């Protein structure tokens, strides 16, 4: 039954605190009519702007466009969060149909000559309009958005662009759904607990619980995470089981009904054709032109500089692992296992023994929230009276130091069959002065659900991930802009990871770590000597981690620097050749993501942008130095970082904001030192 106006919760603004979507009322059948009405309303609003017979003004053109599409924005933010975090066959069917409809909808607006003509007329006289800085930037960004969307193309070009956008949208959605299905089906099913020797008792119990949840009673199931090297590889004693687990991970998307082998080639070639149509040498050139990097040459220069020292570092690590293991050669499924052995022997670090000190609720409240309180004056109150989109979701109200309300933070921390892998942040409500809206943000992680009654104990990597994703959440919560166009994380892709990476520094800041790293049973703090050894051990393995990341980055770069008309050939052969050419084809270190399960670049908006993590880390490492130079965890430092960077969103040029904060341009040396690439 089609929902009526009265029964579709998207047809009117939410009346809940902060405009929190009314998840208790939302059903899958509400999405299609809300999308249809939302697109129709926004298109009518845009057409009214284009048809306005009055001369174009900032108010009747740019601000009118910024006020449009409120219903579509409401439903999109809720739907695409659910499609990632709590999907089902009905949601997937809607997603497959709506992706091409949305692409066509965007084209209908961006390729309207009359609408572009009004924007262009204002742009050409922008310095005569007396606009404030944020309004001037909004006008400039609308002009850039329309031009990059193809507004200046002749009609034949616009028609081909519409076709390309529809094909790319459909292929990206299929890629994501194939990956979801293949990752689920590729889970490693084991017959006995003996095969899991080396894992902690809790992890073995969790594998049995996972088996039951997936309909494999009596079996032990290791579900796969997004990336290549699975966490269990560091602990599994049986070499044959490690080999099987890594093979399952590396083989995703290469064959079978959920293969992405042909799709990655299709997406790369379609994107190359679109870039050429828009006047660029490659998709990478098109993407980077609107990022802080500016040119493909700048990105290539950075990556080229990093590869040789990273590979040399990794080769030294490989030699140490071979000596420790007695193996003639370390295989890919041996690396994490023997690396953990060396860490234990040289640094007396046992990753499994550290987990009792990292209980989820304590890490969240006494670590993540505590750091935000000391640095920014924030406080958090859990709101069990407010409903999330899944029973696992927790809702927290966030307050300023003076007790005034700031926004809502939703935490969705556990893995489940209906959630895609990885970790991410979404906005559910964008902060904006234009609409008087405060932010509502959500963090998603994929922490294994413990057995009933057992605590959720994290690995150190999961602790770092929680701090990282909360850095994105702060970027959204601290947004202080007029226009939703600029809200929160609406910054260049190669800048968006920067604030989140900075927030990771508090993970091991002594005052913070001492507050949350306490044994979940005894309450005893983690011994300082263990903390010191943990930090020293973290430096061991930087070669592996850097090469693993660079290999994925260079794969992304290879796929997206092909020119229009080029034939990449078979996906697996292209991948092997690209890694060899880039100097990172190390058999023992597979890329963090292989092409057929590289969701970042083929379905999540990071195409030609995976370099962003290390580009942002240059800014991050430089900023960590600033904090240390200025006394570290001080309210004054938090206020400065918030005022100059986190509050600005996209309302100012990102590198200009960084330089205003740092007092100079960024330097790469702190990053090289952090990753052990200086000598």
Structure tokens at 89: 């066959």
Q: What is the C-alpha separation between 42 and 49, in angstroms, rounded?
A: 11
What number of residues does the chain have? 679
- Return the beta strands (E) in 202-348 as ranges: 220-222
What are the tokens at 292? Answer: 């802080």
Contacts of 573-579 with CB under 8 Å at 24 or more apart are: 574/265, 578/554, 579/551, 579/554, 579/555
b/e code 17-37 from CB counts within 10 Å (16+ = b):
bbbbbebeebeeebbbbbbeb
Note whether 340 and 235 are within 8 A (CB): yes
Q: How many CA atoms lie within 13 A of 430 on its CB side?
A: 24
Helix (H, G, I), strand (E, B) or coil at 541: coil
- For 293-325, letters b (16+ CB in 10 Å) and e give beebeebbebbeebbebbbebbeebbebbbeeb
The two beta strands, 405-414 and 440-447, are parallel
CA dihedral sign of residues 300, 305, 309, 310: negative
Distant-in-sequence, close-in-space partners of 96: CB < 8 Å, separation ≥ 6: 170, 173, 174, 177
Measure Cα distances from 53 to 48, 58, 68 in Å: 10, 14, 19
Distance CA 579, CA 561 (A): 14
The residue assigned the tokens 């306005």 is 52
Half-sphere exposure for 615 (CA within 13 Å, toward CB): 27
DSSP assignments along 108-125, one per residue: HHHT-HHHHHHHHHHHHT
In angstroms, the CA 38 to CA 49 distance is 17
Does residue 411 contact residue 443 with C-beta atoms inside 8 Å?
yes
Close Cβ partners of 2 (under 8 Å, ≥ 6 residues apart): 29, 33
Q: How far apart are CA 567 and CA 657, in angstroms?
A: 41
32's enclosing H/E stretch is helix 31-51
Q: Which residues are catalytic?
A: 469
């Amino acid at each position: 039954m089609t929902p009526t106006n009265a029964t579709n919760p998207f047809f009117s603004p939410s009346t809940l605190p902060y405009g929190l979507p009314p998840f208790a009322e939302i059903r899958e059948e509400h999405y299609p009519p809300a999308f249809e009405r939302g697109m129709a309303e926004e298109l009518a609003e845009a057409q009214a702007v284009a048809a306005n017979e009055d001369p174009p003004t900032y108010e009747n053109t740019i601000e009118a466009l910024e006020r449009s599409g409120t219903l579509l924005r409401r439903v999109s933010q809720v739907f695409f969060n659910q499609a990632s975090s709590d999907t089902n066959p009905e949601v997937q069917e809607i997603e497959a149909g709506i992706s091409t409809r949305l692409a066509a909808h965007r084209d209908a607006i961006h390729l309207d000559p009359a609408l572009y003509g009004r924007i262009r007329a204002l742009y050409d006289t922008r310095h005569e309009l007396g606009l404030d800085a944020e309004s001037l930037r909004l006008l400039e960004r609308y002009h850039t958005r329309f031009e990059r969307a193809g507004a200046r193309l002749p009609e034949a070009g616009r028609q081909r662009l519409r076709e390309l956008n529809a094909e790319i949208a459909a292929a990206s959605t299929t890629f994501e759904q194939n990956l979801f299905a293949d990752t689920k089906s590729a889970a490693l099913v084991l017959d006995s607990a003996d095969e899991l020797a080396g894992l902690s008792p809790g992890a073995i119990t969790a594998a049995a619980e996972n088996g039951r949840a997936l309909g494999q009673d009596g079996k032990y199931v290791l579900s796969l995470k997004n990336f290549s090297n699975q966490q269990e590889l560091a602990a599994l004693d049986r070499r044959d089981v490690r080999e099987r687990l890594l093979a399952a991970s590396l083989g995703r998307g290469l064959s079978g009904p959920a293969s992405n082998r042909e799709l990655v080639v299709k997406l790369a070639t379609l994107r190359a054709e679109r870039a050429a149509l828009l006047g660029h040498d490659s998709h990478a050139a098109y993407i980077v032109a609107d990022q802080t990097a500016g040119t493909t040459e700048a990105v290539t220069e950075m990556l080229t500089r990093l590869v040789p020292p990273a590979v040399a570092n990794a080769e030294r690590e490989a030699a140490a692992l071979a000596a420790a293991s007695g193996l003639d050669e370390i295989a890919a499924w041996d690396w994490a296992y023997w690396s953990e052995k060396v860490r234990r022997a040289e640094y007396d670090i046992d990753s499994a023994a550290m987990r009792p000190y990292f209980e989820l609720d304590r890490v969240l409240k006494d670590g993540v929230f505590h750091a935000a309180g000391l640095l920014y004056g924030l406080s958090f109150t859990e709101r069990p009276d407010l409903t999330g989109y899944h029973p696992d979701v927790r809702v927290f109200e966030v307050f300023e130091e003076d007790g005034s309300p700031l926004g809502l933070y939703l935490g969705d921390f556990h893995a489940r069959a209906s959630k895609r892998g990885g970790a991410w942040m979404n906005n559910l409500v964008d902060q904006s002065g234009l609409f008087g809206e405060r932010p509502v943000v959500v963090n998603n992680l994929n922490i294994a659900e413990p057995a009933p009654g057992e605590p959720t104990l994290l690995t150190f990597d999961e602790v770092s991930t929680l701090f990282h994703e909360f850095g994105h959440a702060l970027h959204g919560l601290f947004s202080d802009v007029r226009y939703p166009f600029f809200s929160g994380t609406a910054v260049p892709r190669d800048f968006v990871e920067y604030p989140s990476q900075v927030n990771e520094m508090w993970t091991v800041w002594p005052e913070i770590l001492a507050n949350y790293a306490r044994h979940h049973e005894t309450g005893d703090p983690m011994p300082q000597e263990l903390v010191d050894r943990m930090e020293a051990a973290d430096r061991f393995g930087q070669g592996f981690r850097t090469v693993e990341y660079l290999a994925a980055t260079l794969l992304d770069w290879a796929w997206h620097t092909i020119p229009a008309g080029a034939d990449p050939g078979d996906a697996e052969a292209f991948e092997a050749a690209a890694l060899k050419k880039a100097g990172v084809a190390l058999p023992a270190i597979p890329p963090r993501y292989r092409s057929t399960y590289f969701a970042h670049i083929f379905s999540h908006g990071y195409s030609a942008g995976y370099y962003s993590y290390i580009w942002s880390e240059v800014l991050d490492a430089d900023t960590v130095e600033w904090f240390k130079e200025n006394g570290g965890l001080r309210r004054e430092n938090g206020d400065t970082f918030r005022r100059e960077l986190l509050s600005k969103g996209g309302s100012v040029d990102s590198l200009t904001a960084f330089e205003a904060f740092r007092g100079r341009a960024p330097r790469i040396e702190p990053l090289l030192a952090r990753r052990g690439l200086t000598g």
